[in-house]
Amino acid sequence: MTQDNRPSASTRSFEEKYVRFRSPEGRAVARAALGTDLANGYTTKDQAAALAGHLGVGTGDRLLDLGAGRGWPGSFIAETTGCGLVCTDLPMEALLSAQENIGALELDASATVLVADGRMLPFGDGVFDAVCHADVLC
Amino acid sequence: MKPGGRLALLTIETAPDLSQRDQTQAASLGPSAVGADAPAHELVRRAGLQVRHVEDLTAAFATTCAAIWEVRRSAERELRAVEGDEVYDIEQAKKEHMLEGIRLGLLRRSLVVAERV
């Protein structure tokens, strides 16, 4: 039996969406509507700050942004609290963008991106101090 | 997640206690993942986490959704050049459908904060 490793139609659709988000025009829309050009989905900068407060993470903690898209809001939480960050998602375009944003925020030493399906995460139990999950599949 | 660790979840979902007909309409107006058999906070509870906070962010969601639609409309020419006409029209229609779902009370956006005890 062979395994089909091609991205699903849904994943391809999201790949195309993230190509648009990476364009200067897409970033301008996010900046104007959400408060920062790092954002995607419907989570504003103010809401990302509120999430950071609810999670209560800080330096030495590790945050998983599940279905991270462009790394939003995880990269913002990592930047503002000093926590470590792992961003997971399926569309490669999204994670390339997340990696760019992590670099722009100078978080390379404490943040990473990983292609992973939220239903089969490649982590053991008890690895993360907190998990955020915003507007996945929206 | 470690014991004591927290989950913060923002999600668009159908309003509670909808009729089957309204549920179907909500699913047609909302994102593809709308249509779970229970509210997000209930799914989180079923997963074994202790729900600490649930907040209805629908009003802010409507404002954000309308802002995205308007910003995209004001940059229509540039976005059509990048996205193509079909995608531009689909994306704007998605926002309009979402706003209609909110206006009809069918869609909401929720914040759920939970803890692993």
Nearest to A115 by CA among A138, A99, A135, A132: A99
Question: In a structure prediction context, what are the per-residue pLDDT tens digits for chain A, which is 138 residues long?
Answer: 444 555 566 666 666 666 666 788 888 999 999 998 888 889 999 999 999 999 999 999 999 999 999 999 999 999 999 999 999 999 998 899 999 999 999 999 999 999 999 889 999 999 999 999 998 765
| Contact across the interface for B31 and A42, Cβ inside 8 Å | no
| Contact across the interface for A135 and B87, Cβ inside 8 Å | no
Residue A3 lies in a domain: no
Q: Measured between alpha carbons, how far is A72 from A44 in angstroms, rounded to an integer? A: 10
Q: Measured between alpha carbons, how far is A36 from A80 in angstroms, rounded to an integer? A: 14
Q: Is the pLDDT of residue B27 over 80?
A: yes
The share of chain B scoring above pLDDT 70, in percent, equals 100
Q: Measured between alpha carbons, how far is A47 from A27 in angstroms, rounded to an integer? A: 18
Task: Cis check for the bond before A73: say yes or no (omega within 30 of 0).
Answer: yes
Residues forming beta bridges with residue A112, ordered by sequence position: A86
pLDDT confidence of residue A2: 46
Residue B1 lies in a domain: no
Q: Is the pLDDT of residue B106 over 90?
A: yes
Residue A4 lies in a domain: no
Q: Which residues of B touch A51 (CB under 8 A)?
A: 8, 10, 111
Residue A138 lies in a domain: no
Q: Which residues of A touch B70 (CB under 8 A)?
A: 33
Residue A21 lies in a domain: yes
Residue A40 lies in a domain: yes
3-state SS class at A48: helix
Closest alpha carbon within chain A to B88: A20
Give the tens place of pLDDT for each residue, B50-103. 999 999 999 999 999 999 999 999 999 999 998 899 999 999 999 999 999 999
Q: Measured between alpha carbons, how far is B113 from B10 in angstroms, rounded to an integer? A: 9
Interface probe for B, chosen from A18, A22, A138 (most Cβ of B below 10 Å), is A138
Residue B75 maps to which CATH number? 3.40.50.150
CA A122 distance to own-chain centroid: 17
pLDDT confidence of residue A38: 84
pLDDT confidence of residue A138: 57
Predicted-complex ipTM score: 0.90
Q: Which structural domain, as residue segments, surrounds residue B111? A: 6-115
Residue A88 lies in a domain: yes
* CB-CB neighbours of A83 under 10 Å: 25
pLDDT confidence of residue A93: 87
Residue A75 maps to which CATH number? 3.40.50.150
What is the number of domains present in chain B? 1
Q: Which structural domain, as residue segments, surrounds residue A92? A: 9-132
